[in-house]
C-alpha cells in the first residue's frame, strides 16, 4: 500500500505531525510520499519521497490540516483517493480524527 501525506503549511504543529506520520508509516514498511509544498516548509522528509500533489499515485492520502487543506487536496489531485483527515484546523467539518487519535487511527 502506498500512502500520500499532505500538511497544512501555515501551522508548525501540522508540519511536525506530518513528519511523525510519515516516519511511522515508513518504519511500518509502507511506501510513503509527501507533497512538494509540505516538503518546502519542513525539509526533514527524504527528498526521494517528494512528489507534486498533482502527480500523486497513491492508494490513500492522509491530510493533516483542516477543511481547507482537504479541499485543496481534493481540487489538485486528478483521481479520487480515500482521504483520512487529521484535524489541525479550526472548524473540522471534513476532518475525521483529532491529533491525539492519529496513530491509533493509522494503526487500524
What amino acid positions are annotated as catalytic residues?
67
d(Cα 78, Cα 70) in Å, to the nearest integer?
A: 14
* φ, ψ at 29 (rounded to 5°): 95, 15
Q: Which residues pair with 50 in a beta bridge?
A: 34
d(Cα 83, Cα 25) in Å, to the nearest integer?
A: 15
Per DSSP, the three-state class of 85 is strand
Cell digits for 53?
500533489
Amino acid at each position: 500500500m502506498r500512502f500520500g501525506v499532505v500538511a497544512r503549511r501555515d501551522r508548525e504543529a501540522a508540519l511536525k505531525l506530518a513528519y511523525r506520520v510519515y516516519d511511522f508509516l515508513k518504519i511500518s514498511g509502507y511506501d510513503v510520499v509527501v507533497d512538494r509544498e509540505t516538503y518546502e516548509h519542513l525539509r526533514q522528509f527524504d527528498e526521494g519521497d517528494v512528489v507534486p500533489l498533482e502527480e500523486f499515485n497513491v492508494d490513500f492520502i492522509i491530510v493533516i490540516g483542516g477543511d481547507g487543506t482537504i479541499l485543496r487536496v481534493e481540487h489538485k489531485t486528478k483521481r479520487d483517493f480515500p482521504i483520512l483527515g487529521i484535524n489541525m484546523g479550526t472548524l473540522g467539518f471534513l476532518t475525521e480524527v483529532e491529533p491525539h487519535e492519529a496513530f491509533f487511527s493509522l494503526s487500524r
